[in-house]
């Protein structure tokens, strides 16, 4: 592994108005000195743009002295935009978090996934090919494991049977990155995120969507009759893992044939503690009451409906994160109750009080 000092470097974060991207930029503000941080986001309306604007405002008002921060409104699927950005800023480290997310949306709107996740990622790879980049870190997803019945999910497992187009695009990203690492000696690391949640997250995620529905007095649907387990990972844990990985790039070296051995790696980032969906809903409702989002006498049972599994969903996600611990000394630690409490308190301030 090649150590990378992030201080005084130019770092590009794509998807910087997104949930993980904005939190990553905030973490870099706190932990890196003398850096130039460039964010890019297309600010699309897949979900409430006001949330993205809220995140950007937080970043604009928290830039520390000694850090230079630029935000570019642009789309990674726009080749000219990406080429101009790399030519102007010459990033040493690139973190590609821009993507069209969501399993169910990929069933009805596949074009968005091809544009952002395939063409957009290709543009990033091409830019890294033609500019000297020390490390490309990119978001993959636990969705690549599909209906894998072996748990916990290991990066050694075969992931050739995606159950959604979203998953297929993320697996494709890993294959494309491997190819570019091999052909052009670009150090790249893919990170398979497991069910990321927290304050100012994505409204299409269950914890956020459930809260919105309950507040309106609507019924929430719990899929697979509640027989689902998810390896929930709090956003601060995800971001800490990303920052550590950014600082350790796969080593460039030659093989016996004299050609580059791909400086390529993939890791899981997950809590390693799958929670049942019913337990998750129970904790969420307790924290929503505690934060004052919902009244203490709210009748949750009257607003819950157990329904069958949905297309593209899987019954269990469970991360084997031993490799991350071994190579970077990090394992997610924030409990589901701690994380949902932080979300409920943020939600109360942002929406209801």
Report pLDDT digits (tens) over 60-80: 999 999 999 999 999 999 999
Residues forming the active site: 166
Phi, psi torsion values for 112, nearest 5 degrees: -60, -35
Task: Say if residues 103 and 144 touch (Cβ distance below 8 Å).
Answer: no
Question: How far is CA 312 from each of CA 16, 176, 203, 229, 309, rounded to the nearest angstrom?
Answer: 27, 23, 19, 15, 9
Mean pLDDT (the chain, rounded): 94
CA 173 centroid distance within chain: 14
Tell me, what's the pLDDT at 352? 65
Q: Give the SS3 label for residue 324.
A: helix
pLDDT value at 119 more than 90: yes
Residue spans of alpha helices (H) in 32-116: 49-60, 79-89, 103-108, 110-113
- C-alpha dihedral, 212 to 214 to 237 to 246, nearest 10°: -20
Contact predicate 20/270, CB 8 Å? no
Average pLDDT over residues 315-322: 86
E strand or H helix at 69: strand 68-73
Q: What does the pLDDT read at residue 145? A: 93
| Cis-peptide, bond into residue 318, ω within 30° of zero | no
163-195 per-position pLDDT tens digit: 999 999 999 999 999 999 999 999 999 999 999
User: Is residue 90 within 8 Å of residue 10, measured between CB atoms?
Assistant: yes
- Give the global pTM: 0.95
CB-CB contact of 350 with 200 (8 Å): yes
What percent of the chain is predicted at pLDDT more than 70?
Answer: 99
Mean pLDDT value of segment 234-251? 97
- Lowest-pLDDT choice from 25-39, 198-212, 299-313: 299-313
Average pLDDT value for residue range 192-213: 95
Residue (of 149, 163, 112) closest to 309 by Cα position = 163
Cis peptide upstream of residue 152 (ω within 30 degrees of 0): yes
Query: Sorting pLDDT into bands at 50, 70 and 90, what band is 308?
Result: confident
pLDDT at 192: 97
SS3 254: strand
Is residue 139 within 8 A of residue 265, CB to CB? The reply is no
Task: Provide the pLDDT for residue 227.
Answer: 81
User: Residue 323 in 3-state DSSP?
Assistant: helix
Query: Average pLDDT, stretch 101-113?
Result: 91
Give the model's pLDDT for residue 353: 53
- Mean predicted confidence (pLDDT) in 18-41: 98
Q: Are 164 and 143 in contact (CB under 8 A)?
A: yes
């Amino acid at each position: 592994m090649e150590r990378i000092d992030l201080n005084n470097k130019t770092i590009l974060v794509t998807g910087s108005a997104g949930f993980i991207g904005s939190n990553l930029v905030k973490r870099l503000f706190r932990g890196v000195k003398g850096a130039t941080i460039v964010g890019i986001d297309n600010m699309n309306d897949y979900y409430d743009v006001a949330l993205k604007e809220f995140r950007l405002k937080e970043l604009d008002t928290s830039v520390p002295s000694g850090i230079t921060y630029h935000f570019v409104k642009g789309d990674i699927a726009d080749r000219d935009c990406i080429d101009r950005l790399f030519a102007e800023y010459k990033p040493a480290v690139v973190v590609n978090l821009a993507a069209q997310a969501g399993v169910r949306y990929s069933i009805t709107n596949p074009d968005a996934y091809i544009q952002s996740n395939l063409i957009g990622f290709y543009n990033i790879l091409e830019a890294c090919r033609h500019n000297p980049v020390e490390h490309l870190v990119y978001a993959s997803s636990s969705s690549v494991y599909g209906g894998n019945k072996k748990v916990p999910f290991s990066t050694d497992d075969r992931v050739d049977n995606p159950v959604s187009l979203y998953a297929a695009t993320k697996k494709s990203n890993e294959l494309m990155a491997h190819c570019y690492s091999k052909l052009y000696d670009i150090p790249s690391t893919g990170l398979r995120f497991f069910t990321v949640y927290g304050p100012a997250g994505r409204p299409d995620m269950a914890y956020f969507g459930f809260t919105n529905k309950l507040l309106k007095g609507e019924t929430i649907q719990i899929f697979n009759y509640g027989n689902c387990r998810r390896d929930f990972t709090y956003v601060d844990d995800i971001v800490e893992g990303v920052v550590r990985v950014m600082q350790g790039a796969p080593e460039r070296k030659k093989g016996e044939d004299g050609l580059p051995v791909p400086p390529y790696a993939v890791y899981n980032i997950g809590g390693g503690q799958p929670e049942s969906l019913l337990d998750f809903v129970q904790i969420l409702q307790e924290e929503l009451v505690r934060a004052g989002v919902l009244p203490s006498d709210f009748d949750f049972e009257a607003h819950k409906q157990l329904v069958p599994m949905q297309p593209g969903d899987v019954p269990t996600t469970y991360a084997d994160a031993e490799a991350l611990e071994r190579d970077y000394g990090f394992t997610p630690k924030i409990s589901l109750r701690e994380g949902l409490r932080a979300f409920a308190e943020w939600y109360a301030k942002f929406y209801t009080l």
